[in-house]
A and B are shown apart, each in its own frame.
Chain A
Amino acid sequence: MPFWGKIKNELPQIKAEKRVQLPEKTGSQAPFALELLITIVEKSKAEFYMDIIQSFEVNFQFSAPAHGTAKAEILDYLGITDTDKTVIFSVVREDRLDELTYTLETKFRTVRNGKGVSVSVPFTSMIGTSVYTFLCNAESSLNGGE
């Protein structure tokens, strides 16, 4: 079984244990900050990285096919024929980002053909308690939809 397959199988248990509790009253201020993590990786490694990111309490991700912009001369010079990439967009709770980015950095350095770039952009607002709770991977006593 590949290494990432093991992580994937352990996912439901990890998530149930680590689910955070939302406070009863939060006002208009979100108790947990969320950020959009944009990760650009080789097409063949997209699923591998999505599985890793998902294990950090990430409930919502989507990916889009993309390609790099390196010039043909440079690709020929380096003997590279494939510029196909995948861009992964993931909504991550801010308190999990340190650990996640550390893990990604390690994987980018150590996994063969696993080089990538990742940046995070903070969300400034969101509508819908249930959506927010889902994205935070939190348990809430609040009524959803507000």
Chain B
Amino acid sequence: MSENEKGYEVIFCIINSGFSETVMDAAREAGARGGTVIRARGTAGKEAEEKFGIIIHPDKEVLMILVPKDIKDAVLEAVYKSAGLGTAGQGIAFSMAVNRTVGLQ
């Protein structure tokens, strides 16, 4: 157990189904080691489609990547470039600071 002395953050990427490999490749190039993919479903309706011109694919993947704080920005940028809202992946990503980490050694 560590009280996050190294400073880790968990990055959540919500992307269209099938794009987790693309995102993970980009994240790896930015220094991330690995991630975990959860299958999910979006809830945005027709409104978003009409207003923002985004095609809604209900099938989503949530990719969780645990990274040291110092490379968080680089990984987020890589994720955004590879599968951001302007791409087919139509992904959004955010990070959260974690208090404790277990099992990383």
A residues with a Cβ closer than 8 A to B are 35, 38, 40, 64-70, 85, 87, 97-98, 101-102, 104-105, 108, 115-122
Contact assessment for A66 and B38 in the assembled complex, using a CB-CB cutoff below 8 Å: yes
> Smallest CB–CB gap between B35 and chain A, Å?
5
**In the complex, chain A residues whose CB is within 8 Å of the CB of B39:** 64-66
Complex A-B: 9 CB contacts under 8 Å: A66-B36, A66-B38, A97-B99, A98-B1, A101-B1, A101-B100, A104-B103, A108-B102, A117-B101
Contact assessment for B64 and A35 in the assembled complex, using a CB-CB cutoff below 8 Å: no
B residues with a Cβ closer than 8 A to A are 1, 8, 10, 20-21, 24, 34-39, 63-64, 66, 96-104
**In the complex, chain A residues whose CB is within 8 Å of the CB of B96:** 121
Q: A38-B10, A121-B99, A122-B99 in contact; A87/B36 too (CB < 8 A)? A: yes
User: Which residue among B38, B97, B101 has the maximum number of chain A CB atoms within 10 Å of its CB?
Assistant: B38
Question: Is chain B's interface secondary structure helix, strand, loop, or mixed overall?
Answer: strand
**In the complex, chain A residues whose CB is within 8 Å of the CB of B20:** 69
Q: How many A-B residue pairs have CB under 8 A?
A: 75
* 4 more CB-based (< 8 A) A-B contacts, given A117-B101, A118-B101, A120-B98: A38-B64, A68-B34, A68-B37, A69-B21
Q: Which of B34, B38, B66 lies in contact with A87, CB distance below 8 A?
A: B38
**In the complex, chain B residues whose CB is within 8 Å of the CB of A108:** 102-103
**In the complex, chain A residues whose CB is within 8 Å of the CB of B24:** 69
> Smallest CB–CB gap between B56 and chain A, Å?
21
Q: Which of A64, A69, A87, A101 lies in contact with B102, CB distance below 8 A?
A: A101
Contact assessment for B97 and A121 in the assembled complex, using a CB-CB cutoff below 8 Å: yes
> Smallest CB–CB gap between B11 and chain A, Å?
11
Q: Which of B37, B66, B102, B103 lies in contact with A67, CB distance below 8 A?
A: B37
> Smallest CB–CB gap between A51 and chain B, Å?
17
**In the complex, chain B residues whose CB is within 8 Å of the CB of A102:** 1
